[in-house]
Every structure is written in structure tokens, then in C-alpha cells.
Amino acid sequence: MRIMVLGGDGFCGWPTALHLSAQGHHVAVADNFAHRRFDRELGTGSLVPIEDLRTRLNVWEELTGKGIIPYVGDVCDYGFTRRIITAFQPDAIVHFAEQCSAPYSMLDYDHAVYTQTNNVVSTLSVLHAISRINPGIHLVKLGSMGVYGWPNIGVEEGWLEVEHKGRREVVLYPKRAADFYHLSKIYDSHNIDFAVSAWQLRDTVRCVQLACENPPEQGEYRVFNQVTETMPPVQVAELVAGCFPGAAIVKLPNPRVEPDDGYYNVVHTKLEQLGLQPHLLSAELVHSLADIAKRYAHRVRPELLQPTYDWHQAA
């Protein structure tokens, strides 16, 4: 297949592009390096140093003989998006090109506006370009579990059957986000739902290779919960602390508006039905990540891990 990964320089986009290329798909990536700009703006960075896109693509080609085509530009620029889709002629587009940090979206007015504009407009741009160039292109779009909040009933995969005053209806699962980033994802899901039904497109949320290789019917909006296990934050802390004798758990006041615990039940069966093998959080996995963290410990700035603002106050 020909697959275009938007946001291909990012945390999800880069490994997805390599994985798809390794599987034999023809891959192109597009990015405007916005995330690298946020890092410069905030004085933050990744734990592991990340080479620029061109260098990484050259290394991939040297190691595997497989080329990945890069496009540099802003997906919110409709002209750019139309040009690259026309040039590459993808069968599927994986759309990761969004501002994905909830804390960044909560910094102040400018960051909230940037996040919502970038995320909503980039998705509108892709939807319009697909419908105009080739409605058969399968869109794979990541949402985020944070859009659902903490409902007191199970989080179904996309749809909820409701009975109201003796009548039945199937509706998009109700969303209740707790920050401006996750709100942008809610707007995306409604825009996609509308465009898919109005223009007979094909969309899949929260899945990548399995979704690309198992497209839905034309005009179908399919939602997968890409989750294999859930646990409250304190249980994650206990699991990690248990791997390192003597490690202490420090409980900080919660700056966010989500509760620390309570009922949380996510339904996840559809990806497993397509063959997904769950990769659960184990002591072995924690140790393998800790080994990487130790190697790059000199790059860690612990002061940046402390919450410095309260989401209950508008900044």
C-alpha cells in the first residue's frame, strides 16, 4: 500500500513510518517541525536525543535500502495538503499532525487558541483534500482516551446505544474532556463523523497498521479503543517503585481537573479481534525503559517535571 504519515517527525509518526516501511509499504511523511519549535520555546526536549528528519531518513535508507519520501510544510495549509496528497497518491493517510500536549494547551490563551486552531484546521484540511482528490483514501486518525473523561459506565468503542422515552438511538459515545487539547480532539471527531457520512469517506481512529491493512467500508466511521489495560496512577507508581528497592512515592497536589481514582472501564475488543497482541506493563518493561533513562540521565531537568500551574485558574 501507499501510506502517508502526517506528523511523521513525531513520537508516534516516526516509529509508525519505519514500521510500515519495514512491512513493505511505500511510505511518505509530512511535518512542519512544530514540536521541535515548542521544545525551543519551553526549554524542554526529549530524553533520548533525536536527529533531524533528513538524517534519520538517510540512516533508514542506508540500513534497509528503503526510501521514505519527506514533505515539509503545514497540514493546516490546505494548498500544501492538496499538493502532497496529489503528488503521492496514498491509499491511506495516518494523521498524527496535531499539537498533542494537554499541559501545553492549558498554559494560557495563546496556547489554547494555537492548539485548537492547529488541530481542528489540520483535520478539516485533510478531510477536504481527501474528498476532493480521492474519497477512497482511508483516513487513520488518532483520538485520545482523555476525551471521554471518567464516566460511570463503560467507555464503548465509538458508539453508545441509548433508550430514551421508549425510543432507541445509536450515538457517538458522549465526550467530557478536561483540557483544551482534548476538547480539540472532540471537535475533530464530530467533524470526521460528519464528513465521513456526508462525503462517503473512510475513517478509523486509534490504530495504525491493523487499521491500514483492514479498511472499513466506504462511508464507514469506525472507532477502536487502543487500550490493552488500565490502572489508576497510584498503581502505576507502586509498580514502578516496586522495581527499585528503596524508591519512595511522593504524592503531589493534583493540578489537573480529572480525579486521581474512581470507576474507569474501557471496552477494548475490536483491535484484539483484528489480531492485536496486548503488550502489558510489566516489571521487565519498566526495567528496559529505566535502562534507557539511566543512559540519558544527564539530559533530565527534574524541575520541569513539577506542576507549575493550576488548571482550575484561567491563565
Ligand X SMILES: NC(=O)c1ccc[n+]([C@@H]2O[C@H](COP(=O)([O-])OP(=O)(O)OC[C@H]3O[C@@H](n4cnc5c(N)ncnc54)[C@H](O)[C@@H]3O)[C@@H](O)[C@H]2O)c1
Beta strands 221-223 and 159-164: pairing type? unpaired
We find the least distance from the C-beta atom of residue 308 to ligand X, in angstroms, to be: 21
Cell match 502489558: residue?
Answer: 280
* Alpha-carbon span 219 to 98, nearest angstrom: 24
Whether the CB-CB separation of 178 and 287 falls below 8 Å is answered with no
Q: Is 96 in the site for ligand X (CB under 6 A)?
A: yes
Q: What angle do CA 158, 155, 149 make, to 5 degrees?
A: 105
* Contact status: 32 vs ligand X (CB under 6 A): yes
For ligand X, which is the closer residue by CB, 247 or 285?
285
Q: Is the dihedral of CA 280, 281, 284, 286 positive or negative?
A: positive
CB of 264 to ligand X, least distance (A): 16
> What is the CB neighbour count within 10 angstroms for residue 82?
17
Least distance (Å) from ligand X to the CB of residue 9? Answer: 4
Is the Cβ–Cβ distance between 35 and 14 less than 8 Å? Answer: no
What's the number of CA atoms in the CB half-sphere (13 Å) around residue 229? 11
Q: Can you tell me which of 85, 106, 139, 142 binds ligand X, judged by CB under 6 A?
A: 142
Which span sits near ligand X by CB under 6 A: 32-40, 162-170, 251-259, 260-268? Answer: 32-40
Q: How many residues bind ligand X (CB under 6 A)?
A: 23
Encoded amino acid at 91, one letter: D
Give the rounded distance of the alpha carbon of 130 from its chain centre. 20
Q: Is 179 in the site for ligand X (CB under 6 A)?
A: no
Candidate residues 18, 20, 28, 100; the one interacting with ligand X per rule CB under 6 A: 100
Residue 212 interacting with ligand X (CB under 6 A): no
Q: Does residue 46 belong to the site contacting ligand X (CB under 6 A)?
A: no
76 counts as binding ligand X under rule CB under 6 A: yes
Please select the residue that binds ligand X; options are 5, 10, 71, 123, rule is CB under 6 A.
10
Position 114 contacts ligand X (CB under 6 A) = no
Determine the 3-state secondary structure of 23 from DSSP.
coil
Instruction: Select from 34, 94, 107, 271 the one that contacts ligand X (CB under 6 A).
Output: 34
The nearest distance, CB 178 to ligand X, in angstroms, is 14
d(C-alpha 149, C-alpha 226), whole Å = 16
Give the residue carrying C-alpha cell 521487565.
284
31 touches ligand X by CB under 6 A: yes
The residue ranges that bind ligand X (CB under 6 A) are 7, 9-13, 31-35, 74-76, 96-100, 118, 122, 142, 144
